[in-house]
Structure 1
Amino acid sequence: MADRKHGAPVPETHSTIRSEDWDSEDLSGRRYERVAFVDVDMTEATSRGATFHECVFRDVRFNASVHSDSAFTNCVFKRCVFFDATFTGCKLVGSVFDDCSFNLLKVEGGDWSFAGLPGADLRGVTFREVRLREADLTKARCEGAVLQNADLSGASLHSTDFTRADLRGSDLSALDPLVAKLKDAVVDVRQAVTLAMALGLEVRSD
């Protein structure tokens, strides 16, 4: 399993919800703490203002689900599927993802600081206006991903593959261009200067 940020232990759950069919379920306003969700189908489920704290999700299907202003804090997701899922203004601080599928995932706003996504296959996903401060994206595959106006300050980006990724407007101060893949990545002028300086170049305007 992927390590939790700063070595925090996997939550000890106190109850289990197993093999439930929550297809198209409205989870708005619900609160769960230290619950294990195992083989639960949340396809096309929706939530607004729901709270999941220190929960563990195993083999849960979030396909085409839509979550707004909900919190999944300090949770662990193992072998979960997020195909075409949408998270808007959600808080996933400290959550860890292990062997999950993220095809067509869309994230707009919200706080994913300290999230653990090492080695994650994030090809083609979209993160806009998202706080990813000190997130672990070590060796993550972000080819063709959209990471616009994201706060990646302090993030772990060693060997992250940003080939063809759109990084415009994001904080790349933690990115070492010598240990990340940036072929055909799209950046703005300010970011280009930051990357050039990281390579030891002297940037002049004349």
Structure 2
Amino acid sequence: MRRSLPLEADTTIRSVSWDGDDLSGQEHHRVEFVDVDMTEATSSRTVFSECTFRGVRFNVSTHTESAFLNCTFVRCSFFDATFTGCKLVGSTFNDCTFALLKVDGGDWSFAGLGHADLSGTSFDGVRLREADLAYTNCRRATFRRVDLSGASLRQTDFTECDLRGSDLSALDPRETTVKGAKIDFTQAITIATALGLDVSPG
């Protein structure tokens, strides 16, 4: 079911069910969503700008080429949610859960994911330039072909994480846990150089 709600700025939507709804084409600016159920909702080219989501359930929802620009997410659940080609530039996440989250492409630059538990999640071909991933748990996650240039990776845990093809120029292995992580040869040279090693042909 597709629902169109013309909303004015500084509006609050509280305790409604959008379970299974099609939100495609909607635009929301400076709207606060509180305890909204978006389980299994879908969106395509939907735009949320400067919105706040509190206790919103995005479980098993699917979003394609939608934008969540400079939004704030507090205590939201993203269980098995899928974001394909979406923009979440400048958005911040506080006390959210991300089990089985899948992100394919898109731009999450400047996103605030510090201290988040991203273990087991999948990011493929995503731009995370200058994102905050400090103290984030990325154990056994997938970060393939991800642009992490300029990202904050202090005390990030990449244990057994698949990092192949990603830009690791901001990664300092002395401040980041990378035990058992999968990397390619080019990345190995980048990390060795960061440690001050002189990599040269034998």
TM interval, shorter chain, is over 0.9
Greater CA deviation, 195-204 or 72-81? 195-204
Letter of the 1:101 counterpart: T
Superposed counterparts of 1:78-93, under 5 Å: 78-93=74-89
Partner of 1:158: 154
Partner of 1:6: none
- 2:48 maps to which of 49, 52, 55: 52
Letter of the 1:202 counterpart: D
Greater CA deviation, 194-203 or 44-53? 194-203
Partner of 1:191: 187
- 1:202 maps to which of 183, 198, 201: 198
Structure 2, unmatched stretches of 5+, are: 1-8
Secondary structure in 2 matching 1:203: coil
Instruction: With the length of structure 2 as denominator, give the TM-score of the two structures.
Output: 0.95
Partner of 1:21: 17
Secondary structure in 2 matching 1:192: helix
Structure 1, unmatched stretches of 5+, are: 1-12
- 1:109 maps to which of 81, 84, 105: 105
Instruction: With the length of structure 1 as denominator, give the TM-score of the two structures.
Output: 0.93
Superposed counterparts of 1:33-182, under 5 Å: 33-182=29-178
Per-residue CA shift, 1:44-74, capped at 9, x if unaligned? 0000000000000000000000000000000
Secondary structure in 2 matching 1:27: coil
- RMSD of aligned Cα (Å): 0.6
Per-residue CA shift, 1:61-113, capped at 9, x if unaligned? 00000000000000000000000000000000000000000000000000000
Deviation at 1:205, TM superposition (A): 1.8
Secondary structure in 2 matching 1:194: helix
Deviation at 1:200, TM superposition (A): 1.1
* Cα distance in 2 between the residues matched to 1:117 and 1:58: 16
Per-residue CA shift, 1:19-45, capped at 9, x if unaligned? 000000000000000000000000000
* Cα distance in 2 between the residues matched to 1:198 and 1:153: 14
Secondary structure in 2 matching 1:147: strand
Length, aligned pairs only: 194
Letter of the 2:45 counterpart: G
Secondary structure in 1 matching 2:186: helix
Letter of the 2:191 counterpart: L
How many percent of aligned residue pairs carry the same amino acid?
63
Secondary structure in 1 matching 2:93: strand
More contact order relative to length (CA 8 Å, sep ≥ 6): 1
Partner of 2:6: none
